[in-house]
Amino acid sequence: MHLSNKLLAEFLGTAMLLATVVGSGIMAENLADGNMAIALLGNTIPTGAILFVIITMFGPISGAHFNPAVTIAFALRKDFNVKEVLPYIVVQIVAGIIGVWAANFMFDLEVLQFSQKIRSSQGQWFSEGVATFGLLIAIFFTLKSKAEAVPAVVGMYITAAYWFTASTSFANPAVTIARQFSNTFAGIAPSSVPAFIVAQVIGMAVALLVLKRFNKLDF
Of the candidates 176, 211, 188, 1, the one whose C-alpha atom is nearest the C-alpha of residue 89 is 176
- For residue 215, the model assigns a pLDDT of 79
Taking residues 43-59, what's their average pLDDT?
98
For the chain, domains (ranges, CATH) are 3-216 (1.20.1080.10)
Of 22-26, 77-81, 109-113, 215-219, give the lowest mean pLDDT range: 215-219
Across 51-200, the runs of DSSP E, i.e. the strands, are: none
Tally of CA atoms within 13 A in the half-sphere of 98 that contains its CB: 13
C-alpha to C-alpha distance for 6 and 157, rounded to whole angstroms: 25
For residue 71, report the phi and psi dihedrals to the nearest 5 degrees: -60, -45
Amino acid (one-letter) located at 3:
L
- What DSSP state is assigned to residue 165? S
Q: pLDDT tens digits, residue range 70-114?
A: 999 999 999 999 999 999 999 999 999 999 999 999 999 999 999
Do residues 128 and 166 make contact, with C-beta atoms less than 8 angstroms apart?
Answer: no
Q: What is the mean pLDDT of the chain?
A: 96
Distance CA 70, CA 80 (A): 10
Position 102 scores a pLDDT of 98
C-beta separation of 61 from 11 below 8 A: no
| Residue range 177-196, pLDDT digits in tens | 999 999 999 999 999 999 99
